[in-house]
């Protein structure tokens, strides 16, 4: 809910505290980078010190970050607040998935439980735009962060009573150097890409990219040598696991960019109000929720292989529909896109974690689950950063003015100016390019699933159904 509201609130934030284009992207994706970098680490900490204790600490940090974000007077402080929220949020996902895995040892029950777990995320996508639209129509932009506070207070009151302390059976040693290498390498590489997209490729951006990629390479090599790695590279030798993780990474990569840029399109290009844009997002979010809930039944009928193939090609079709958007009548194609793609995104959100956990030995299920959640969070952040940067590059190449995004044109020359018409055209050029790239990614995933995941034999299908 918090993430979908933030997509909706960005035009209001841009107007109020006037971040640069790259600062706007950092406001959106620093949360995902913080969570993605620390998920596996906090999963290990939960095993060692207790998941209940970690959840209580993390929820408190998340609440403090939300309060700071609501009253941030500058882009820099808002980015820092979002990072603090990410630090708290990183405690939640691995512990939740671990608890579900412990509660439901039966594979069919676990699949249904994870489907319900995923549906709660999808329900947040439904609730978020509606609540956000009402809040932004009546209150200032910071109110979108304050909605977290009642939830946090309720959790902190009930968790000590309702939750039992759970420890992992084999707490692993946390390699601090691996944590530092993964976080620093990722942040440097992505910041270099974002800087190059906004200001052009210079020595600074090139150096950041090269150094970031080098640090990530060192991180991967280190994982191969460690007895208890932060990221178990050997798991990716299993094709089903590899396709599941790629699906989690790239489906969120596509979804986050499409959701963020579509909200900018609806408000800045078509001129819809915040509440109208929120209402237009509801049909696709409802389909996403239903798809998450019904995915276990789909898998029971057609199998995980066919479900993944349906997932990828429905996402691709949804992205292709965005190519028909324009300056006047694009809302119909936006709704159609979210409905069609929502089927695939719902399958992905529900199926990836269960497929990843089920594709590896039981002794590695915890590591597989943590990697699945990490792929989702990194995909969420990388999609906004990289595809958002692609749109910025194309906008700068086709727009004749000095502004680097359509939001700057709206705040500067204004909606009725000739510059705005040029900005509309430039934004659509970038928006359509992003949609095309996203569709190609989804089609590639579908082909990979067809080639890498073998059809189950008759005996395997009978065993699976029993």
pLDDT at 231 > cutoff 90: no
Question: Helix/strand/coil (H, E, C) string of 320-364?
Answer: HHHHHCCCCCHHHHHHHHHHHHHHHHHHHHHHHHHHHHHCCCHHH
**Six-digit token pair at 128?**
């978020």
- Whether residue 407 lies inside any domain: the answer is no
Residue 409 lies in a domain: no
More confident residue, 357 or 267: 267
Q: Let me know if residue 457 belongs to a domain.
A: yes
CATH value at residue 124: 1.20.1250.20
Q: Which of 229, 259, 275 is the last residue of a domain?
A: 229
Mean pLDDT of 413-437: 89
Please state, in angstroms and rounded to a whole number, the distance separating the CA atoms of residues 53 and 321.
46
Residue 437 lies in a domain: yes
The reported pLDDT for the residue numbered 66 is 94
Name the residue range of residue 374's domain. 2-174+230-398+416-465
pTM of the model: 0.75
pLDDT at residue 309 is higher than 80: yes
Domain membership of residue 253 (yes or no) is yes
Same domain, 22 and 114: yes
Residue 181 clears pLDDT 50, i.e. is over it = yes
Helix, strand, coil % over all residues of the chain, rounded to 5 = 85, 0, 15
Same domain, 380 and 239: yes
Co-location of 267 and 385 in the same domain: yes
> What confidence category does residue 211 fall into, taking pLDDT thresholds of 50, 70 and 90?
very high
Q: Please tell me whether residues 436 and 454 are part of one structural domain.
A: yes
Shared domain check, 262 and 368: yes
One domain for residues 449 and 368: yes
The Cα 12–Cα 414 span in angstroms is 15
Of the listed ranges 1-5, 212-216, 294-298, 432-436, the one predicted with least confidence? 1-5
**Does 458 lie in the same domain as 388?**
yes
Residue 96 · residue 113 · CB < 8 Å:
no
Residue 166 within any structural domain of the chain: yes
pLDDT at 431: 94
| DSSP line for 214-272 | HHHHHHHHHHHH-SS-SS-GGGGGSHHHHHHHHHHHHHHHHHHHHHHHHHHIIIIIS--
Residue 168 sits in the same domain as residue 275? yes
Q: What is the tally of structural domains in the chain?
A: 2
Both 130 and 170 in one domain: the answer is: yes
> pLDDT confidence of 427, banded at 50, 70, 90?
very high
Q: Is residue 410 part of a domain?
A: no
Does residue 451 belong to any structural domain of this protein?
Answer: yes
153 pLDDT above the threshold of 90: yes
Mean pLDDT score, 427-437: 94
Query: How much is the average pLDDT of 130-153?
Result: 86
| In a shared domain, residues 152 and 215 | no
Three-state SS at 206: helix
Indicate whether 319 pLDDT > 90: yes
- pLDDT tens figures, 352-391: 777 776 666 655 665 666 677 777 777 776 787 788 888 9
| The two structure tokens encoding residue 385 | 């950063």
Residues 193 and 217 in one domain: yes
Of the three residues 210, 229, 248, the one that is the final residue of a domain is 229
Mean pLDDT of the chain: 82
User: Do both 132 and 199 map to the same domain?
Assistant: no
Non-local CB neighbours of 175 within 8 Å, separated by 6+ positions: 222, 226, 228, 229, 230
Provide the percentage of residues in the chain whose pLDDT is more than 90. Answer: 21
| Residue 40 in tokens | 């596996």
């Amino acid at each position: 809910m918090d993430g979908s509201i933030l997509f909706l609130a960005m035009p209001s934030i841009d107007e109020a505290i006037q971040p640069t284009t790259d600062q706007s992207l950092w406001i959106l994706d620093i949360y995902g980078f913080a969570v993605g970098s620390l998920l596996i680490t906090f999963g290990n900490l939960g095993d060692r010190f207790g998941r209940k204790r970690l959840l209580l600490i993390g929820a408190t940090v998340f609440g403090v970050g939300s309060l700071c974000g609501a009253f941030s007077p500058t882009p820099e402080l808002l980015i820092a607040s979002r990072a603090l929220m990410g630090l708290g949020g990183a405690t939640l996902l691995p512990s939740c998935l671990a608890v579900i895995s412990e509660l439901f040892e039966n594979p069919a029950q676990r699949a249904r439980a994870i489907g319900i777990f995923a549906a709660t995320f999808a329900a947040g996508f439904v609730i978020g735009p509606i609540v956000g639209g009402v809040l932004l129509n009546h209150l200032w932009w910071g109110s979108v962060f304050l909605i977290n506070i009642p939830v946090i207070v309720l959790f902190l009151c009930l968790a000590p009573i309702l939750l039992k302390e759970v420890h992992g059976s084999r707490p692993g040693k946390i390699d601090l150097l691996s944590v530092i290498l993964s976080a620093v390498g990722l942040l440097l590489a992505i910041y270099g890409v974002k800087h190059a997209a906004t200001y052009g490729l210079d020595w600074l951006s090139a150096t950041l990219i090269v150094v970031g990629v080098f640090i990530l390479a060192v991180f991967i090599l280190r994982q191969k040598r460690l007895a208890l790695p932060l990221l178990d590279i050997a798991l990716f030798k299993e094709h089903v696991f590899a396709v599941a993780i790629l699906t989690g990474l790239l489906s969120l990569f596509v979804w986050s960019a499409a959701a963020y840029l579509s909200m900018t399109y609806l408000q800045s290009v078509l001129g819809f109000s915040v509440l109208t844009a929120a209402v237009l997002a509801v049909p696709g979010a409802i389909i996403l929720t239903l798809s998450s809930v019904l995915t276990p039944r789909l898998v029971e009928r057609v199998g995980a292989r066919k479900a993944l193939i349906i997932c990828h090609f429905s996402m691709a079709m949804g992205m292709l529909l965005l190519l028909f958007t324009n300056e006047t009548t694009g809302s119909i194609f936006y709704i159609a896109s979210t409905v069609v793609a929502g089927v695939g995104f719902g399958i992905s959100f529900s199926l990836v974690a269960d497929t990843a956990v089920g594709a590896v030995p039981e002794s590695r299920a915890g590591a597989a689950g943590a990697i699945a959640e990490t792929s989702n969070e990194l995909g969420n952040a990388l999609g906004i950063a990289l595809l958002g940067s692609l749109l910025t590059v194309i906008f700068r190449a086709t727009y004749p003015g000095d502004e680097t995004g359509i939001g700057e044109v709206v705040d500067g020359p204004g909606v009725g100016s000739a510059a705005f018409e040029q900005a509309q055209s430039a934004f659509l050029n970038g928006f359509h390019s992003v949609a095309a790239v996203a569709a190609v990614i989804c089609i590639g995933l579908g082909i990979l699933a067809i080639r890498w995941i073998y059809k189950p034999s008759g005996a395997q299908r009978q065993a699976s159904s029993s």
